[in-house]
Amino acid sequence: MKQLKFGSTGIEVPSVILGCMRMNSATEPEKVLQTAVEHGITFFDHADIYGSGECEQVFANSLAKTSIKREDLFIQSKCGIVPGEMYDFS
């Protein structure tokens, strides 16, 4: 898997990111994580509105069922997204 520099940090991350918007509907989400990591995908995209927050919980629970270490992953999350309003950081 091709690696890219993450901004100006010098940290290398995979060129492919796995979006977790539908993680709560996966039949075996831990298998999704395991397969992704086995193929070099260690960067995961989240947002607090994915599944009304359920996707992040499913991800955490699934990660706990694997031997994958949290410190080996890159997790990006977005916040303040309000359906119909775009963003609200109040």
Active centre residues (catalytic): 50
Find, among 76, 68, 57, 3, the residue nearest to 31 by Cα: 68
Find, among 43, 55, 47, the residue nearest to 78 by Cα: 47
